[in-house]
Every structure is written in C-alpha cells, then in structure tokens.
Chains A and B, each alone.
Chain A
Amino acid sequence: MERRAFLVGGGMFAGLAGAATMLPTSSKAKVGGPAANLLNQIIGSQSGSSLSRQTLPLEAQSNDLTPYTGAWTDVQLNHLLRRSMLGVPFSQYTTAKAMGTMSSVVNKLLDNTLPLPAKFASYLDEYLTVDSKITDPNLRYIDSNNKQRLEVMRTQQVVNWWFDLMVKENLSIREKMTLMWSNHFVTGTDANRHAGHAYTYNQMLRANSLGNLKTFAYAMATDPMMLVYLNGNQNFYGKDPMTGRGSGSHINENFARELMELFTLGLIDPKTGKPNYTEADVQSGASALTGWAPTVVAPFTGVFYPTSHDATPVQYLGSTLSNPSLQSVLDTIFGLGQGYNVAWFICQKIYWNFVYYDSSSASSQGVIDAMAKLLLQSNWELVPVMKALLKSDHFYDANVIGSQLKSPTNWAAGIVREFQLTYPAFSNADATVSGVDGKGINTYTDPNLTLSYITNSIMGTELGQMLQNPPNVKGWPGGENWISTGTFPLRETVSLGVLANTFDGSAKVRGIKITFAPLTWINSIPGAANMTSVQLAAAAEALTIALQLGPKETATLYGALNFLKLPETDFYLKDIYVQQFAELIAQLPEFQLL
C-alpha cells in the first residue's frame, strides 16, 4: 500500500478516534487477540510506571525538606529526570536507572564542575551594536542598516546555539537552571541587539546557575547585556561613561528599581506583609549604582567609571551607605531581614520552576521557608538547596508529579530529545549576504535555518517564548499562561506535522529539515528486541507522560502498536504504526504536563 493512500485511508487521523479496533488492517497484518487481552497486558505492564489515579489528598503531605524515603521506582526517577532536564531520551534514562539510588542521580544532575561550552564563533567578539538606546552618535556603531540586519541574524545564532546545547545536554540540570535564570535576571535582545552581549550574558547565567547567589547577583549587575537593557550605562553622575563628556546628575532609576522588585527582594516583605522598599530607596539606590557601563570592545564586561559615580552618602533600605557602591547596595539588599527576604524570594522562584507554579498552599509555603533557611545556612550556595529539594518527600508527592505545564522550550526540546528528532548540525559560520531587498539593504542567509525555524518561528512567534527576549523585564508568567486558546492548537499542529513529516510545506521548501525515524526510535528502547509491543508502548509512555492514562486513552495509544511485533507485518507498516503511536502521545493533553 502506498503510504499516502494509507494515510488518506484514515490511518493516522481516524486512529485518534478510537481503540485498537479502529486501526487499519492490511492484507498482511492480522488483527491480534481480543481487545480484552490487550487491555490486560497493558494493565499488567503499567504497575509502577506511572502516577496512580487513586483517591489522594489534595495537598502535598510534606511541608518542609524532609527527605524522600519511599521506594525508588521509575515513577520517581522519571519525574526527577523530566523536571531536571528538557525532555528525557531513553539513553539517559538507562544511565540514570543504572545509578541505582536517588542520591547518586541527584548528585550527578547537580554537578557544578562541568566546564563551560566553548565560545562558538569569533564574530561574537565584534561590536556591531545597533543599540538605539546609546544616544551618542560616536558610540552607536550603527553605520548601516546592513550591519543592523547582520546583528539580528547573529543574535539569533546565540539562541540557536543555546537550544542546541539544551538538546545535547547530558544528565545535568544546568541548561534548565540557565533557562530559569534567564527568566529571572531578565534581559531582552529587542532592547540590545548585540550578539556578543547576548552570548556573554547567556554564559554568565550558565556559569553561575548552580553557584553562589550573591556572586551571581554581582555578575548579573555588571553584565553588559543587563547594563544596556536596564539603562545602567545611562545612570551616571558627572561624565557620561560612554562618551567621557558631560556633567551633573543623570539618575536613571530603571535598574535600581528592578534589582529590588524583580531580581532580589520583591515588592513585599514575606514576614511583615509590608513593602520591602520605598520610592526613596529606588532613587538612592540609583544614585549609589551610578558609574557602571559595558566595555565597547571584547571581552565584554562591565566597567566602573569613578568619574561617572556619585559618591554622596545615601540612606538606603534603612542603612546609611557612606561609600555607596554596587557591592554596598547588594550587601544591604542581601542583609534585609537577616537575609531572609532575598532567600525567600529566590527560593519561591526556584519552587515555581522546579515544583509547581502555584505556591499558595500551606505545604508549598513551608517548603519555600525551609529552602530559604537552607540557602542562608549555606551562605547563598545554590547546590545544597537544589539537592535538598530534589531529594525531598515533597518533590515526589502525587500533587507534584505531572502538575507542571511545559514551557514552549521544554515542549520543543522535549520532543526533539524524546523522539530523537534530528536536524542539520548547528553551524558556527557567520551569516552571508544573500542579496539586496527592495530598500537596498542586504539580506542574509541564515547558517542555521532549521534551528531558527524551531526557536524563532515556532517557540517564539507561535508559542510565545522567544528565548533571551521575554515580553518584559518580569519575564514569561509561566504556569497556565503557557497554554491558551491560541497556542494549544499550534502545539498540536506542529507536533503532528513534525512527527508525521508533513509540517509546514513552505518551511520545507526553504530547506528546513527535521527528521523523525520511527523504527530507529522505538528500537532504541533498551531491550527492545525482546519486548512485546505493549512493553514498548509502556516504556515510551513512562518517559513522556507523567500522569497515568485511563483505559480509553491507553487502549487507543497502545493499540497503535498492536501489529508491530507480528512477524508478518511488513516493514513499511511497522514504520507507520510507530509513527502513529508517537503522534498519539504528543497529541494527548497529558503530554503538555510534566
């Protein structure tokens, strides 16, 4: 049978509707045993692989960091891996499984001695900024629209490089931590189109992602991307650090405000319910932070210019800064409430990212409080907090497993990793001029067309997560906001298209290439050769679906593989059965949860 005829004949799409009996038969394939037998096999194979559906309390049982001491089965292991990484490939599951204990897997995931990835291209050292916020014409470097367009293209490559790192990541939480921090210490490439800055910022997040929070805050505050994004470089007293000219006060409150509101303290003191700071603190903080600006040539870093700094003592958060400086500002912030206010605020953010986006329950509040105290005890080191969290009873509660909605990044990188999709390898080549548009401005060839399609068109434009360019300085709101009437159907359409190899015809014409090899994928399940189709389905489901499916869903899903293992099924149909199975997984509403 022609493949196309097969599909038109109602295979793939009709298969969505019902159970095994609706699956197509060919002259060679025979219908297997009765449906009841299939269901029995399924039920037998499921024990211990997914979360139970039985009646459970509506709130997590542990309200602190009490260690998890229950059985270490695939339910817990898969949950840990799904939450720590952006999708779980079979191979990494196998490696983690072989480690045997929760402790060994958690320790491996939190290894903070991994070397940083190397700088991927020399063009990242060039300074071609088109930053319209730098008003001095000598420093704008916008010598032409051509360079502006080139810089946009290069900035896109930084995102592509990052996404590729996520896809290739081994057993490590680092890329997911980096993603979280990019949504905490937020900057945006729309406001600072500079590939070198974007790359430096991304590496700064990665380098500090499992480090010391206070060190991290200093690195963030002096990061060139951040200095431009929140106008730190335009907050000066005396000489403009960017031009070396000028005099008088040029207080720009942007960074001073968000440093407190979004990066460290939050608006409200968690213990008193009162504001953490006043408008006067915003202004005195801005005064103390004057004098920082990014270097204009590589290596890109923040530089302090004493002649642009206002050294006048200020009252800040109830303290007197007699020698105001970035360090004294951070010391004061990190000292508020004996440090608890910052610790609580950051641990709440970690909780939202790694446990559940809604932390309003009493048990969630208890866990966040315990995390904050541990962060203080560890003198702002993040690893002990993450370690305790990922080993806590709370983390493995039935109210936690499967409760998070996948971000577009987690969803996209997840599909690539879980279904072993392939795309052309990331290229570190610079964009080349491909022609001239109607306005006489150069157009460029994207060296990573497919990656740009994934990160920019799908994750960004369609699904609402343009990496390194959140909608505003607060970042993406996350949680249920990820799934809307507009974005949900797109997730379905895109996953269906990619797995059926029928996605976006015009994209294909442009040379975009994403490949799914169904049989290679299913056969990469450890021990596949000796497994029944039901066992294969169960193994794939266990990694990709956190919730336990009901009987109708299971019958439909598993039914898709029903003929796979029959010796008389021809190769071509096997391929289609597996493909259909993968599509069904990705179409389940449960696939949106982890």
Chain B
Amino acid sequence: MKRRDFLKQGLTIGVAANALPLMLGGFPIKALGRSPLRSALETQGGTNNNVLVIIQLAGGNDGLNCVVPYSNPLYKTMRPTLGLDKTADGLLVLPDHDTLAFHGGMDGMLGMYNAGKLALLQNVGYPAPILSHFRGTDIWNTATDSGIYSTTGWVGRVLNDLNPGYPPSVIPAGSQPLAIQFGSSLSNLFLGQNGGMGIAINKLPTTDNPSTHFYDALPANLTNPYKELGYVRSIQEEGEVYSTSLVKRSVNTNKVDYTTLAPNNTLATQLSYVAQVIASGFTTKIFLVTLGGFDTHSNQLTDQATLLKQLSEATSAFQQDLEAFGVADKVVTMTYSEFGRRPLENGSGTDHGTAAPHFVFGTQVKGKVYGADPNLAATALVSGNLAYETDHDFRNVYATMLNEWLLGGSTTDNMTEINNVLSASNGHTYSTTNTWTSLGIIKPQAGVATGQPSSIGLMLMQNYPNPFVASTTIEYALPERTAVELSIWNTAGEEVARIVDGTQSSGIHSAEFASGRLPSGAYIYRLKTPTTQVTKQMVIVK
C-alpha cells in the first residue's frame, strides 16, 4: 500500500484524541501532519520515550572469532592460525549455551549476557550478499535488497514518517535533535526524503555561539550554487538551535568513569556523550556511534582482540552508566556491521565474508542466544561464506526494534506500517519482500497497551516557543466533546487573558497567544473542563 493511499483510507479515524505526548523531538504534532508510523504509535496508545542506540562496527567484524564455536572441529580446521582455543585464549563460554564462547576480552558483555540483558542474534545477513565495504554499508544503512539502491536510510525514513514535514522552515528555539550521530559527517542512515533527519557532531558542544546572520533571501529558483548555499545556511541555523539545547543539557558528567577503561577507546567516549544526553531527558530517539578498524585482512588476532575489548568495555560501562542514572529502562542498544568475515583464514587475517552475529542489549531485552550456531560444513557454506539464517535477515532486526521498542508493541501490532516504511514508501521500493518479522526479543512494554487504544485524560502541552516575545502556541487534547477554558494567569494569581472559552470536540487543538502589552515574566496557563484542570508555566521575554 502506498503511503498516500494509506492516508486516504483514514486509518487514523478516531485516533487523534488518543495521542499521548503531542511532541516528538520537541516538534508540535500539528505542524507536522500525519503518517503511518505516527498513526500506529497513536493507535498504540501513544509514543513512549524509548531510545535506540546503534553501534556501527565499521570494516566488517569477524563473527567466528567474536562469538566462537570453539568446540566445532571445522572451526580449527578452517582457522589453523587464527582459531581460538578455549583454555589457551581464555574464551568465555556461555553458561547456558556451552557450544559458544565470547572472545576472551569480552567479559563485560558476558556480564550483561549473564544478567539476562544481552541478546545474541546469530547469522544475521541477507540474500545475495555484497562483499564490498561501501555497498555493504549502504545496504545495511538504507535497508534495501542487495540489488536495489536508495538515497534514504532506514532511520531517516522512520524519523521522516514519525515527523512528516520535518524540517520546518524555522527550527524553534529549544528544539532537540531527532537523532544524533557522533562523527564529522552525517551517515546516510539518517537521510530522509528531505535530507538529514539528525545531526552529526564530533563531541558534545560546550559553548553555544549563535552568530547574528545577515542573510539575503535566496533567489526564487535554486541553481546549484544557491542550493548549496541554502544547505550551508540550514546547517548553520539548525546547528545553532541544537547546539544551544545540547550546551544547556542538565547532565554533563557521567556516573561511570569511562577514563578508567583501556586507553584510546573512542567508542566509550561517544557512549559517554550519549548517556549524558539521554540522562538529560532529551527527546532524541536515535543515536549512532561508530567503532572502526574491523577490516582485519591481516594481524587479526591482535587487532580484533583490541577492538572487541573496547566494544565490551564501552558497552558494559555505558549500560552501567544508564542504570546509575536511572534511565536504563528506556534505552536499547544494538550493533551492526557491513558483513562478517570468511571462515577460511588467509594466514594472518580473514577476507570479506557474509553473515555474522550481532548484539542487542538493555534492561528491556530478553537476553539469550537467538538462532543456531554457525554452520561451517562445506555443504552449508555459500561460495565459502556463511549462510544467513532466514529469520535473521537484518531487516527483521530493524522491524523488531521498530515494533517492539520504538513503537512499544507486541510482535505483530504495527507490522503493516513497518513493512511499508522498510520496504516501500514515498514512491520508492526498497525491498521486494514486504513481510518482515518481529523477532520477540524485547520485553512487553509496561504502560503501553498492545492493540487496544488506551483511554487518556486531558492533555496540556508545553507552549512553543517558550520563552517567547510576541506570540506562542499552546496545544492540548480533549478526550471527549466538552466545555473548555484556556486562560493565562500572572504570578499574582490574576487572570490576564482567556484565549479559549466554549465547547470543543475531542482531539488535538491548538491556540495562539499574543503577549500584547504584558510585561516580561513567568505566567501560568490553565486548561479547565467541568471535571478537571491542568496548568503549565510559560515565560515572556521582552
């Protein structure tokens, strides 16, 4: 079903009033319109604050020396020099799955596994695999079949769908990024129909430095130079809003000391930033961090050991940090890599391969091993490479993250919408398969009804912009048709304005408020019905 048809068919009927928080990433729902995922979210009883952290293992992590089938005799045959030994190499055997062991440097991740917080997905891959780093990375980022090309990333499409209309012509002050990547240029993972849906930064900004612009309007028709000028200006303006929000974050130290880890752990540094942003209560849904260097054509024993130790130390410290901050229940982290490596070694390393194991962890994850041990039999290999497990097509992993985590449903709830976003949306086809599977690796989400719209009460949202000079918008939701008043009060307890007074239908409403001659200061706005009332504060700055 095409998105437009979907919208026409009005799946959103009667749903609006059930929308829980009306803002995603700080953007008002009304300004953004409707879309399938968004509607699904609302049908579900509203969005949640769940966050997905994605770790890219760039270069192609060798799965067989990461999650080691040490007792399989074929493993040692294919890896005479690289094959790891249970005792000599200090492998960490999984207590409940003793045919597999983590690499000896991964005790942190073993700890998470033993605590039931880490899921190991075996043999993740896709049909007709590509062994190029760059095409392979694009396939994983854009979630396409191996023969289909796309300029949009799966996260970009999802964020697009959750926030149609983004970016607005002006990003309101105080907005928070929808997605943050640590790195110097934005990954195509975050590209949506209208360009970048997230921001790329090397580190958290410490000083906001908004400059005063003296832009002249762009010409009406954008030749390439003015198109690019528009791009630079948009980065400048967005960057200033988001940097300011990040500088003002409430948490700027960590609960765990990442500096005590083995040195040069760039992943740990990035994850320490992520923890601070999440602990500050940001509405940012997706984070992307990267650990590179996995292209171990040579010297694999040393190089991969260093990397896996970094991965394990960084992720377990991150998880502890989130728990210490008390925000761990809203964060799930997953790894991905463009491919696994060849079972047969080349002497000191391994060449490009195909399927590989991946990790998903967090307090809300049902930790265990999913899938079979890799099959090393000559008859099972495809051109010498590992076969992927059909259930573990990487798009099923994405579908799972969307369905069970970001939308907080059970294994089937939102799959129609998710299939559309992953496989065919906005007039593009990304996959000829349109029936992805939600793998059931996340615990049912408390507070989110599965399938049944939840009944909610009166909702009053924070006004935007806030603080404001001349005018601001207040959004609110009514559960049923009712008499309603929206009034503004000063701190002396006097009503200074009444902007709504009458009977309104159920659903989302918005009202504009002009400050007029009111002096600077804090004000209260109150939404009142015959049965209940809610208040919030706003600030006028003149």
Contacts and interface: CB of A to CB of B under 8 A. Distances in A.
A81 interface: no
Nearest to A478: B185
Contact of B58 (A257, A401, A472): A472
A485 B238 contact: yes
B243 A55 contact: no
B78 interface: no
Contact of B225 (A51, A251, A257): A51
A45 B351 CA distance: 62
A252 B347 contact: yes
B135 A267 contact: yes
Interface in A552-594: 552-553, 556, 587, 589-590, 592-593
A461 B243 CA distance: 19
A400 B227 CA distance: 11
A482 B348 CA distance: 36
Interface string B50-77: 0000000011000000000000000000
Contacts of A484: 184-186, 199-201, 235
A142 interface: no
Given A135-B298, A234-B298, A483 B232 contact: yes
Interface string A392-419: 0000001111111100000000000000
B89 interface: no
A58 B222 contact: yes
Contacts of B302: 132
Interface in A308-357: 356
A403 B224 contact: yes
A193 to B, nearest CB: 13
B214 A556 contact: yes
A553 B352 contact: no
Contacts of A135: 298-299, 348
A489 B297 CA distance: 38
A485 B59 CA distance: 25
A153 B515 CA distance: 61
Nearest to B342: A253
Interface residues of B, number: 59
Nearest to A19: B214
Interface string B177-188: 000000111100
Contacts of B347: 234, 250, 252
Interface centre among B201, B203, B346 (most CB of A within 10 A): B346
Interface stretch (B126-134, B313-321, B442-450, B452-460): B126-134
Given A132-B299, A553-B216, A252 B346 contact: yes
Interface in A203-247: 230-231, 234
B383 interface: yes
A400 B133 CA distance: 31
Given A17-B212, A252-B298, A252-B351, A593 B228 contact: yes
A251 B184 contact: no
A422 to B, nearest CB: 27
Interface stretch (A66-74, A499-507, A543-551): A543-551
Interface in B195-234: 199-203, 205, 209, 211-212, 214-217, 219-229, 231-233
Contacts of B166: none
Contacts of B222: 58
Given A485-B238, A486-B202, A593-B228, A253 B299 contact: no
B228 A403 contact: yes
Nearest to A358: B224
B215 A553 contact: yes
B36 interface: no
B214 A547 contact: no
B131 A257 contact: yes
Contact of A279 (B135, B215, B238, B383): B383
Interface residues of A, number: 71
A55 B219 contact: yes
A169 interface: no
A41 interface: no
A138 to B, nearest CB: 15
A480 B184 contact: no
Interface in A447-493: 461-464, 471-474, 477, 480-489, 492-493
B interface majority secondary structure: loop
B242 interface: yes
A358 B151 CA distance: 13
B223 A481 contact: no
Contact of A486 (B200, B214, B220): B200
Nearest to B59: A472
Among B221, B238, B298, residue most surrounded by chain A Cβ atoms (within 10 Å): B298
A546 B224 CA distance: 12
A257 B134 CA distance: 12
B494 to A, nearest CB: 38
B493 to A, nearest CB: 40
B90 interface: no
B351 A253 contact: yes
Contacts of A492: 209, 211
A133 interface: yes
A484 B180 CA distance: 12
A261 interface: yes
Among A234, A399, A589, the most chain B Cβ lie within 10 Å of the Cβ of: A589
B517 to A, nearest CB: 27
A405 B228 contact: yes
A279 B347 CA distance: 20
Given A58-B222, A405-B232, A488-B236, A463 B184 contact: yes
A4 interface: no
Contacts of A471: 292
A593 B133 contact: no
Interface string A267-302: 100000000000100100000000000000000000
A118 interface: no
Nearest to A401: B225
Contact of A462 (B135, B202, B205, B221): B202
A316 B373 CA distance: 35
B223 A488 contact: no
A16 B352 CA distance: 53
Most buried by B among A135, A356, A481, A485: A485
A254 interface: yes
B239 interface: yes
A53 B225 CA distance: 10
A18 B214 CA distance: 7
Nearest to B208: A489
B133 A474 contact: yes
A114 interface: no
B303 interface: yes
Interface string A435-457: 00000000000000000000000
A240 B402 CA distance: 50
A279 B232 CA distance: 41
A509 interface: no
A146 B232 CA distance: 44
Contacts of A358: 224
A481 B134 CA distance: 16
A257 B132 contact: yes
A485 B239 contact: yes
B186 A402 contact: no
Contacts of B343: none
A550 B216 contact: yes
B367 interface: no
Contact of B133 (A16, A57, A472): A472
Given A484-B199, A484-B201, 20 more contacts: A17-B214, A18-B214, A55-B220, A58-B221, A58-B222, A58-B223, A234-B347, A250-B347, A253-B346, A403-B227, A405-B232, A461-B202, A474-B133, A480-B231, A483-B235, A485-B238, A487-B185, A489-B239, A589-B232, A593-B232
8 contacts: A53-B219, A234-B297, A250-B346, A486-B202, A487-B185, A552-B214, A552-B215, A593-B225
Interface of A: 16-18, 51, 53-58, 132-133, 135, 230-231, 234, 250-254, 257, 261-262, 267, 279, 282, 356, 358, 398-405, 461-464, 471-474, 477, 480-489, 492-493, 546-547, 549-553, 556, 587, 589-590, 592-593
